[in-house]
Chain A
Amino acid sequence: MSRAGAPPAAAPTAGETVLELRDLTTEIRSVRGLVRPVDAVSLRVRAGEVVGLVGESGSGKSMTAFSVMRLFPTKAARLVSGEVRLRGRDLVPLPQEAMRAVRGREVGMIFQDPASYLNPVLSVGRQLEQQLQAHAMGRGARARIAELLRDVGLASEIAGRYPHELSGGQAQRVGIASALACRPALVIADEPTTALDVTIQAQVLRLMARLQREGGVAMLLITHDLGVVAEVCDHVYVMYAGRIVEEAPVASLFAAPQHPYTQGLLAGVLDLIEPKPIEVAIHGSVPDLASPPPGCRFHPRCPHVMDVCRRETPPHFEVGDARAACWLHDGAPGAEATA
């Protein structure tokens, strides 16, 4: 049915590793030099799991998603090293056509601003049909589209609507329908609720969580919103200035954040409910990636900075069920350096 690299038809079994990034590094050539928005990022998403990728804007989390899809917003960006394993198969060496067959078929993507990702002059149904046809699934498209729209809680008449006739919530539901249209193994959601009204945010989140559970797909959820993470994620990676600084199951992350950056992020959240002394909040801003600080990239803003932080990049230390890239955990009881 498919012309290049027929995708595995079987649905992923629970617990199977669907996406694994190993030391993924992406570079952008800019006038100010070589920038690495994604620097040796490793992460893993299992079937049936929602994994959060958290960080401030500019931390490289969206760039990580683009690297997986190998679709960059600029021609100056290039994947330089590392592996992108989708169900065990490394996508990095794949030729363009094979990569195209992966997009929208094996990996679905949900965007922050879904309305602008829809074609303004084509009806919703026509756009979903185009996607199905692009993956040789055009037969029975009409029925599949009706089913998809029902799944995301939209009336089947929506198929005849044009993007400007949709509300923000409806557009995002269409975006979710598109991401799930070809029954992918992995869905990457890049700030899926950021542009929505608060009431609709909750609905869309619940919908995504339900569809993800029912379909057993793996989901990588990119967000800066820790509230969203707490609500739907099983496991969290915290990204700072292109690197993963902490990784933990969601309960551990909120109960006992191990990296000072994560601690600061959480303090920022808690501030709203019960004001904390100002010193735990994070001062300064994300460093300029064209000339990142040496050693730990967080050290200029870190309240616990030590000499070693300025000199050497911290490895990931295992602390309980979490892993944190911070020298504070060097030699701490139970801590063990890995990779």
Chain B
Amino acid sequence: MGLSVPAAPTAVGGVRGFWRQFRRHRLGVAGLAAVVLLGLVAVFAPLLAPYDPFSTSRNAFAPPGSPGHILGTDHLGRDVLSGVIWGARVSLIVGLAAAFTATVIGIAIGAVSGYFGGWVDELLMRITELFQIIPRFVLALIVVAFFGSGLTNLILVIGILSWPQTARLVRSQFLRHRSLPYVDGARVVGMRAPRIIFSEILPNVMAPVIVVASLDIAQAILLEASLGFFGLGDPNLRSWGGMLNTAQGFVQRAWWMSVFPGIAISLAVLGFNLVGDGLNEATDPRLREGS
């Protein structure tokens, strides 16, 4: 009858099964490689950077390939490579923390909205739409200009402006899940709404949320770099956007000042976007092989 027969292990679920799905998406793997590289550079920045990113020297405008300065120096003689390496830290911290903030807010609002429905849903969705139609960049610019551009402020501003997509996604998932039998099952055994929302339904809808979160990281990195480019980055940190900002005046004289931070930004944004795509395909049951 099958009581003593162990169930056959399936490809569905499990870290190993997931990795097998993800690996099939070549660009996703390439993106993951870029992201891992970025992570290692950020973590080991003090060991990898040949110079202090702020230390100036008389050797200004050294072109790439100069002795001791593989990527050249800027107008103050600061090492571009060291700046790019330390900038990875800022980008990654802002990207991860802002996307995390956005995801937490998005989950809370979307879950409550989708699970309870009715006027709660109406109200929360109108607020969500409001946040969606605001030009994010302009508002970020204003808020940062007003409240200061410390790292925490950057993270909060970007996070608070980035949750609507997650909220809408989570809401639509909850709308679908709240009437599934397993949720009735949870009600029948007497669970309260918070437990049903966070412990029963949420684990079922996390896969697409993680996909959106990885895309959010890319967007947050881009937004942070844009703010930095306009001179609204954290002044105490060397960031890619900040390097682009200083490079503006020297585009013709020292192209390397803008090109290398630019490449770094592109790689980071592309990397997280590709990881998002790969995750999306790996978690989409329609694209799965076998069962």
A residues near B, CB below 8 A?
A: 69, 71, 73, 100-105, 108-109, 111, 113, 116-122, 130-131, 133-135, 153-155, 161-162, 164-167, 169-170, 178, 181, 199-200, 203
B residues near A, CB below 8 A?
A: 1-5, 7, 9-10, 12-13, 180-182, 184-192, 195, 199-200, 203-204
Q: Are B188 and A109 in contact (CB under 8 A)?
A: yes
Identify A102's interface contact among B180, B181, B190, B199, CB under 8 A. B190
Docked CA distance A103–B170 (Å): 28
* Interface SS majority for chain B: loop
A sample of 5 more A-B contacts (CB under 8 A), given A71-B187, A119-B186, A120-B204, is A69-B188, A71-B188, A104-B188, A122-B203, A134-B191
Identify A166's interface contact among B7, B9, B189, B204, CB under 8 A. B7
Q: Are B181 and A117 in contact (CB under 8 A)?
A: yes
Q: Are A103 and B188 in contact (CB under 8 A)?
A: yes
Q: Are B189 and A104 in contact (CB under 8 A)?
A: yes
Docked CA distance A164–B182 (Å): 13
Q: A113 to chain B: which residues have CB within 8 Å?
A: 181
Closest to B4 in A: A155
Docked CA distance A170–B2 (Å): 8
Q: Are B2 and A169 in contact (CB under 8 A)?
A: yes
Q: B199 to chain A: which residues have CB within 8 Å?
A: 122, 130
Instruction: Given A130-B195, A134-B195, verify A121-B204 contact (CB < 8 Å).
Output: yes
Q: A71 to chain B: which residues have CB within 8 Å?
A: 184, 187-188
Minimal beta-carbon separation of A201 from chain B (angstroms): 11
Q: Number of contacts between A and B (CB, 8 Å)?
A: 92
Instruction: Given A130-B195, A169-B1, A199-B1, verify A104-B190 contact (CB < 8 Å).
Output: yes
Q: Are A118 and B182 in contact (CB under 8 A)?
A: yes
Docked CA distance A55–B139 (Å): 64
A-B pairs with beta carbons under 8 Å apart, 15 shown: A69-B188, A105-B190, A111-B185, A113-B181, A117-B188, A119-B185, A121-B13, A122-B203, A130-B189, A134-B192, A154-B3, A161-B7, A162-B13, A164-B10, A167-B3
Closest to B202 in A: A121
Instruction: Given A104-B188, A109-B188, A130-B195, verify A119-B3 contact (CB < 8 Å).
Output: no
Q: B192 to chain A: which residues have CB within 8 Å?
A: 100, 134
Docked CA distance A134–B13 (Å): 27
Docked CA distance A170–B203 (Å): 23
Q: A120 to chain B: which residues have CB within 8 Å?
A: 182, 204
Docked CA distance A120–B201 (Å): 10
Docked CA distance A100–B1 (Å): 36
Closest to A165 in B: B7
Docked CA distance A116–B4 (Å): 22
Minimal beta-carbon separation of B184 from chain A (angstroms): 7
Minimal beta-carbon separation of A129 from chain B (angstroms): 10
Q: Are A122 and B200 in contact (CB under 8 A)?
A: yes
Closest to A131 in B: B189
Q: Are B190 and A117 in contact (CB under 8 A)?
A: no
Q: Are A167 and B2 in contact (CB under 8 A)?
A: yes
Q: Are A134 and B190 in contact (CB under 8 A)?
A: yes
Q: Are A153 and B204 in contact (CB under 8 A)?
A: no
Q: Are B184 and A135 in contact (CB under 8 A)?
A: no
Docked CA distance A101–B189 (Å): 9
Q: A178 to chain B: which residues have CB within 8 Å?
A: 189
Docked CA distance A138–B191 (Å): 13
Q: Are A103 and B190 in contact (CB under 8 A)?
A: yes
Q: Are A118 and B190 in contact (CB under 8 A)?
A: no
Residue from A119, A162, A178 having most chain B Cβ neighbours under 10 A? A119
Docked CA distance A178–B182 (Å): 13
Q: B189 to chain A: which residues have CB within 8 Å?
A: 103-104, 108-109, 130-131, 134, 178, 181
Closest to B9 in A: A165
Identify B3's interface contact among A104, A134, A162, A169, CB under 8 A. A169
Q: A155 to chain B: which residues have CB within 8 Å?
A: 4
Minimal beta-carbon separation of A89 from chain B (angstroms): 16
User: Closest 4 A-B residue pairs measured CB to CB?
Assistant: A104-B189, A104-B190, A117-B185, A165-B7
Docked CA distance A104–B10 (Å): 31
Minimal beta-carbon separation of B117 from chain A (angstroms): 10
Q: B185 to chain A: which residues have CB within 8 Å?
A: 111, 117-119
Docked CA distance A122–B184 (Å): 15
Q: A167 to chain B: which residues have CB within 8 Å?
A: 1-3, 5, 7
Q: Are A135 and B190 in contact (CB under 8 A)?
A: yes
Minimal beta-carbon separation of B191 from chain A (angstroms): 4
Docked CA distance A213–B133 (Å): 63
Residue from A69, A71, A134 having most chain B Cβ neighbours under 10 A? A134
Docked CA distance A173–B185 (Å): 15
Q: A109 to chain B: which residues have CB within 8 Å?
A: 188-189
Minimal beta-carbon separation of B213 from chain A (angstroms): 18
Minimal beta-carbon separation of A19 from chain B (angstroms): 16
Closest to A199 in B: B1
Residue from A102, A166, A170 having most chain B Cβ neighbours under 10 A? A170
Instruction: Given A71-B188, A104-B189, A122-B200, verify A200-B1 contact (CB < 8 Å).
Output: yes
Docked CA distance A300–B202 (Å): 51
Q: Are B190 and A100 in contact (CB under 8 A)?
A: yes
Q: Are B191 and A131 in contact (CB under 8 A)?
A: yes
Minimal beta-carbon separation of B194 from chain A (angstroms): 10
Closest to B185 in A: A117
Q: B4 to chain A: which residues have CB within 8 Å?
A: 155
Q: A116 to chain B: which residues have CB within 8 Å?
A: 180-182
Identify A121's interface contact among B3, B9, B203, CB under 8 A. B203
Identify A131's interface contact among B3, B12, B184, B190, CB under 8 A. B190
Residue from A73, A100, A105, A199 having most chain B Cβ neighbours under 10 A? A100
Minimal beta-carbon separation of B193 from chain A (angstroms): 9
Q: A104 to chain B: which residues have CB within 8 Å?
A: 188-191
